[in-house]
Amino acid sequence: MSELMRRVARLRVPLGAVIALAVLILARPTPVIMITGIALAAVGELVRIWASGFIRKNAALATSGPYRYTRNPLYVGNLLAGIGVVVASGNWWLAAVYAVYYAATYSATITRETAILNELFPREFMNYCQFVPAFFPRLWKSSLLPPESSLQFDSGLVWKNREYRALISLVLIFIIFLIKLRYPWP
């Protein structure tokens, strides 16, 4: 992995915070787009919670639950939640900003994490990659799905993996949007 990709991957969180701040400042929500955005963000967060309950970082390769359909369900959840926030903001040019941010930082992050997983679980990960797409989920039943792993969803892992942080962030963003909806300011 190139040094540039490593740097871009490391910028994912701080750049995301800057974009979130811009979205909060520039948001012009309306009731209809708020409902649509909240629904999309909720689906994204539910995907993230589902995925978080299967992650046993550096101890086992997650191949059950949402990991049967995509190797990166957390990032699929992030995409859906981010689209929900952008939709709810009512500021459509922010969608282009978010798309560029997401494509650049998450492709670099996925590349970095793929290299790490390949080192930690070389044979198992290579086999898994043959069955499961890197990002866009395969949602239909297929003989290409890997065998179900014995690992089951563990709600304790959701807490251990600190998924509550993403949930709290989304709730706060939508509270601010609701305040802006009720009391618009420039």
Both tokens assigned to 150: 């014995």
CA distance 127 to 81: 30
Q: Report CA-CA distances (Å) from 141 to 71, 137, 184.
A: 16, 11, 47
**Around Cβ 74, how many Cβ atoms within 10 Å?**
24
Both tokens assigned to 125: 């990960």
List the chain domain ranges.
3-132+150-182
Task: Determine the straight-line distance between the first and last CA of the chain, rounded to whole angstroms.
Answer: 43
**Prediction pTM value:** 0.89
pLDDT of the chain along its 186 residues, tens only?
Answer: 578 777 777 888 888 888 888 888 899 999 999 999 999 999 999 999 999 999 998 888 998 899 989 999 999 999 999 999 999 999 988 999 999 999 999 999 999 999 999 999 999 999 899 889 999 987 765 556 556 666 788 999 999 999 999 999 999 999 999 999 998 876
The torsion angles phi and psi of 171, rounded to 5 degrees, stand at -60, -45
| Closest C-alpha to 61, from 112, 114, 140 | 114
3-132+150-182 architecture in CATH? Up-down Bundle (1.20)
State the DSSP code for 140.
S
